[in-house]
Amino acid sequence: MTGPAVRPSVPPGAEAPGFGAFVAQAARAGALVVQPRMGMAQAGAMRAGLLATRAALAVTVGTVTLDSYTRTGDLDAARRALAAGAGLNGYPIATHPVEVTRGVLRGVADAGFPVQVRHGSAAPEGIVRALLAAGLDATEGGPVSYCLPYGRTPLHEAVANWQRSCRLLAAARGSAVEPHLETFGGCMMGQLCPPSLLIAISVLEALFFRQHGLRSVSLSYAQQANARQDLEALVALGRIADELLADVDRHLVVYAYMGVYPRTPGGARLLLEDAARLAVRGGAARLIVKTTAEAHRIPTVAENVRALETAAAAAAVERAGPPGAAPPDTGIEAEARALIGTVLDLDADLGRALVRAFAAGYLDVPYCLHPDNAGRARSSLGADGWLRWSSVGSMPIAGLVEGGRPPILGSAGLLTALSHVQRRYDGLAERLPAPTPRGLPAVR
């Protein structure tokens, strides 16, 4: 049995250290880096979470996920909640004094265990200042993916905010620091967004980061509902990134399914293992895990550690096996290239190009309620989990992908599509053989 790979040692001075270098080193050593989504309000709990993540039997990086108040810039609410001891759904990095956050990270975050800040803000300057002050230099987001899907900040404001934030982050570059920024573009809406648009936004955001000074980026893609479609998408994302971002350090990161998660521990585990297999087969270097508690509540540290170890073990097994066949091309790459090319042709300034693209509906996120989204695109899920466009609106991709146009979903159809993965994996878990009690021989 192949165990998870051991944490790579990062020799000092080998290359500019930091998040990207650590992941690259792990990839060369044959290990998939696994990462939780984890943030606690209190410093002690946050530190304990990071220590546990570091100690997991896997090659891990740490996460400080911020709370919703900090994300939306309501620092007063974060301060009040902290003072009142009310629960926060993440770590309020701009509210805790910087010494407190440094204390959280001291002796935990270093070249052998980089920590990334995850937030979701369309106005992230304060967050970037706070993470840099605390000694961190890796975060995620993007002008589109941290604006359109879930907020109401006008897109042109998010673009300006992200431009300034990228420059702030890039300016922290030093001999011992290579700031890293990950696109969240591959996760738009979490689910039901066809892969070509996920790829396009992820690539366009990475190009935006590069335009504003970043030299180390990662491109995200969230697992959807059909492994073959996801593999084709991930291979296409890697190919396009290699072509358009050849001059920067880069890697692909897969997110375990971001939609309605299986309710059963078995179903959740099977889905996570599939995400790990997808990451390995698709050439990703990092995986954001989900836990068995995901459908019910914010997971505990122990549940996160278990998820990290489960994913690392599945990835190691997959890597040890024979390489899978290349996925057949159904047109995802052609669609993604058409979207990217159309946007790049609009304006040499990526920020302006993105704003114009959304205004014209050349990019149009299905089911996105943001006022700057055209809202004419619709998607649907086949019985096999294959995502298809029901309507492409004004996007320049009509007829590039195989297959017909499914009808536009109503509320019942939407609910069925949203819970497809949950049902499928909970069903698979039911059919698994019951676990053999420890210490007893298996019945033959």
Partner 1 sequence: MASDSHTWNLVFLQLLLEELGHRVTNLGACVPDALLLAECRRIEPDLIVISSVNGHGHQEGLRVIPALRACPELRLTPTVIGGKLGIAGADDPDRERVLLAAGFDAVFEEGSSVAGFREFVAGLRSQVLL
Q: What residue ranges bind partner 1 (CB under 8 A)?
A: 68-69, 71-72, 74, 77, 81, 86-87, 89, 120, 149-152, 189-191, 259, 296-298, 367-371, 409-411, 414-415, 418
Which is nearer to partner 1, 103 or 190 (by Cβ)?
Answer: 190
- In degrees, to the nearest 5, what angle opens at C-alpha 198 toward C-alphas 194 and 203? 150
Could you give the CA distance from residue 206 to residue 162 in angstroms, rounded to a whole number?
12
Minimum separation from the CB atom of position 276 to partner 1 (A): 25
Minimum separation from the CB atom of position 184 to partner 1 (A): 12
Which is nearer to partner 1, 8 or 143 (by Cβ)?
Answer: 143
Could you give the CA distance from residue 45 to residue 47 in angstroms, rounded to a whole number?
5
Query: Is the four-CA dihedral 165, 367, 258, 24 of positive or negative sign?
Result: negative
Minimum separation from the CB atom of position 89 to partner 1 (A): 5
- In degrees, to the nearest 5, what angle opens at C-alpha 436 toward C-alphas 431 and 440? 160
Closest to 351 measured CA to CA, from 185, 212, 193: 212
Minimum separation from the CB atom of position 22 to partner 1 (A): 29
Which is nearer to partner 1, 71 or 281 (by Cβ)?
Answer: 71
Could you give the CA distance from residue 207 to residue 125 in angstroms, rounded to a whole number?
19
Q: What is the largest CA-CA distance in the chain?
A: 67
Instruction: Note the Cα 187 to chain centre separation in Å.
Output: 6
Minimum separation from the CB atom of position 434 to partner 1 (A): 26
Which is nearer to partner 1, 90 or 238 (by Cβ)?
Answer: 90
Which is nearer to partner 1, 81 or 256 (by Cβ)?
Answer: 81
Residue with tokens 């159309």: 342
Residue with tokens 């996801």: 230
Which is nearer to partner 1, 412 or 442 (by Cβ)?
Answer: 412
Could you give the CA distance from residue 186 to residue 194 in angstroms, rounded to a whole number?
10
Minimum separation from the CB atom of position 120 to partner 1 (A): 6
